[in-house]
Amino acid sequence: MAMENLAFLIPLLPALAFVLTFFLGKKLPSGGAIIPIIAIAISCVISLSITAGLLANPGHVVTQSVHWFAILNLGILIDPLAAVMLSMVSFVSLLIHIYAVGYMSHDPAKPRYFAETALFTAAMLGLILSDNILQLFVCWELVGLSSYLLIGFWFHKPGAASAAKKAFLTTRIGDVMFLAGIVLLFADIFAILEGKLPEGVYLLQFEEIFKFIPELVAINSTILGMEVSHLTIVTLLFFGGAVGKSGQFPLHVWLPDAMEGPTTVSALIHAATMVTAGVYLVARTFPMFLAAPGTLMVVAMLGAFTALFAATMGIVMNDLKRVLAFSTISQLGYMVLGLGLGAVIGAEAVGVSMFHLINHAFFKALLFLCAGSVIHAVGTHDMRQLGGVGKVMPITFATMTAAALALAGFGIPGTSIGFSGFLSKDPIIEYAYVFATETGNWMPYLFAITAAFLTSLYIFRLIFMTFTGKPRTDYGGHESPSSMTIPLAILGVLAVIFGALTRGTFMKFIESNFEHLDMNALAELGGYHLGPHGHEPLLILWMPLIVAVAGLVIAYLIYNKRVIDMSRIVSSENPVYKLLYNRYYQHQIFVEIFSVKIIYEGLALASFYSDKMLDWLVNGTSTFLIEAGDSLRKFQTGVIQDYAAAVVAGVGLLVILVKLIMEVF
């Protein structure tokens, strides 16, 4: 199969497009958008054909590897997990690039935009097909860099500049943890091998790392009086990286602010690239997590908490894009929760989580592009000023409704009939129930089901406030050009049918990823057993749909029929509203307590040292030089005669000197 040999082109073509667009974009029509579009289209074709090959023959994993230095390599590993991610990322990114041709048509800095989005896509694709953890980390950082550049794309706006900085710094906390995890892992493997490195083996390749899991479990350290295995520490640190990138509590704060970039960038960040990287990292190293049940518990709890936490904030936001941002955080919470349930369901956890990731990518990209279409047409993203947009923008309205139904999770339980979001979110909630019955910990299930209700409420609040009723202001508006509506239609179809089409095959496909590893043995290393789990009661099966419908009905009654006057509830006096609207004051806590109180005060001592001692040294040097120069410059009289006299005197001296020397010798 020739396509497999071209696998290395998948990230390289968009990277090349970045360089070309950056330097030549100005000379080409529409800012050189055609270059990244063609590059990503080719990447997409290669990815899809490799995926098709893997579907026919799941054991046939694509690997390529070249020596880098010492015991490190640059390599490609395309197994089912990577293949579906590659296909999704390149496909969604392609649609977003096509859409951006219309969306960014009025922006003068188009070449920079398309170059940076191409780099973003290239970094993400490189991250996905890395076969070793170090290469993954390098791409991980590149993703962070490009997100910084793109969030701050309109850097002349102070809001965008500070949002970019916030995103970079917040994810950095996670990145440092991830790096620490890699360093610790490497040091441990080195210790296990007692410094004797085997020939021809690249130790940081995932397959090699997995072989060391039993030894890693055996190494223990005492932290805060608790005996913790190094595998738990390493996986926790990896998960810390995922928390930063995938916007989990408490490092989600950058994600809502990332709205300052162009809407297409938001769609890229939220759907295809960036935020899925964290989930993918956990899925990629899942065998390690499976042998560390302590970490899995943290993963499950944090995911469930984030799902609920973000959903509560989503219901009070008035900004179209901000609602969607909180929705993303919440849905990422579901994916992380799905992974955390691995302690009960084993490799199936990766299947459901990745299934939700892919479905979410489609409907979330769609939601953002629809929002972008509305913003492009009416020029505002404040929902309070909109209303009745559905009449002027029928295509956008229809596709956005489809995406909302997918997000809220509408479908018939127990069958394969339903919107894509239903078919992937439902299993996560059901498995959370299984988790509750097996471990007695009901928190993830309760949080997940409450979040499902709130999800339905906030997304239909958005739909009703924006698209139905009477216009609240005179905003004009028109349907968007076809370069924008065609991607919407494609994504709309996928959001509706993708889940139903692939449900059975997808899960099996992803699970085949770990077939060569003995999951039960890994679980036993972690000290527990993976058993078969029974079926859920009928009520549990129907519960997600019931809460979704409840959310829809309540949103309809409040925001369309207006049976309750929201203006009485929504006021600055209502403490709950204030708390939610100010996002639990988390920004204030971070800035005023952590930054101002702790870090600044801590710096006081350092500043004393620098003021009194370093400054003396630095200022002393400069004062000395200034004074020396002050006295020496008197020699420069500025009178030409003086200079001429000095020259003549010099020549005279030289003659006398030469004469003297001649006489001596």
Min dist CB 382 to another protein, Å, is: 60
| Most distant pair of Cα atoms in the chain: their distance | 121
Number of residues that this document lists for the chain: 665
Name the token pair of 420: 């894509």
The answer for residues whose C-beta is within 8 angstroms of residue 626's C-beta and 6 or more apart is none
Distance CA 294, CA 235 (A): 10
Min dist CB 656 to another protein, Å, is: 17
Nearer to another protein, 567 or 636 (CB): 636
Nearer to another protein, 648 or 654 (CB): 648
Q: How far is CA 659 from CA 646, 652, 665, in A?
A: 20, 11, 10
Distance CA 31, CA 16 (A): 16
Nearer to another protein, 29 or 638 (CB): 638
Nearer to another protein, 619 or 637 (CB): 637
Distance CA 534, CA 430 (A): 11
Residue 161, number of CB atoms within 10 A of its CB: 15
Q: Which residue has the tokens 């708390």?
A: 579
Min dist CB 642 to another protein, Å, is: 9
Residues that bind another protein (CB under 8 A): 633-634, 636-641, 644-645, 648
Nearer to another protein, 595 or 637 (CB): 637
Nearer to another protein, 416 or 637 (CB): 637
Burial of 607 (0-12, 13-18, 19+ CB in 10 A): exposed
Nearer to another protein, 572 or 636 (CB): 636
Min dist CB 659 to another protein, Å, is: 17
Min dist CB 655 to another protein, Å, is: 13
DSSP string, 369-434: HHHHHHHHHHS--BGGG---HHHH-HHHHHHHHHHHHHHHT-B-TTSS-B-HHHHHHHHHHHHHHH
Min dist CB 636 to another protein, Å, is: 7
Min dist CB 663 to another protein, Å, is: 22
Distance CA 465, CA 472 (A): 10
Nearer to another protein, 1 or 648 (CB): 648
Provide long-range contacts, Cβ within 8 A and 24+ apart, for 160-165.
160/260, 160/261, 162/257, 163/254, 163/257, 163/258, 163/259, 163/260, 163/261, 164/260, 164/261
Nearer to another protein, 226 or 625 (CB): 625
**Residues 283 and 347 sit within 8 Å (Cβ to Cβ):** no
Nearer to another protein, 417 or 649 (CB): 649
Residue 491, number of CB atoms within 10 A of its CB: 31
Nearer to another protein, 57 or 641 (CB): 641
The answer for residues whose C-beta is within 8 angstroms of residue 80's C-beta and 6 or more apart is 54, 58, 509, 510, 512, 513
67: enclosing H helix or E strand: strand 62-69
Distance CA 253, CA 355 (A): 26
Angle ∠(68,70,71) on CA atoms, nearest 5: 85
Min dist CB 632 to another protein, Å, is: 10
Nearer to another protein, 2 or 632 (CB): 632
**Residues 456 and 555 sit within 8 Å (Cβ to Cβ):** yes
Min dist CB 628 to another protein, Å, is: 14
Cα dihedral 2→281→525→306 (10° resolution): -140
Min dist CB 74 to another protein, Å, is: 59
Dihedral-angle region of residue 419 (phi above 0 means left; psi in -120 to 50 means alpha; beta otherwise): beta
- Phi and psi (nearest 5°) for 226? -110, 140
Name the token pair of 103: 């969306």
Nearer to another protein, 222 or 631 (CB): 631
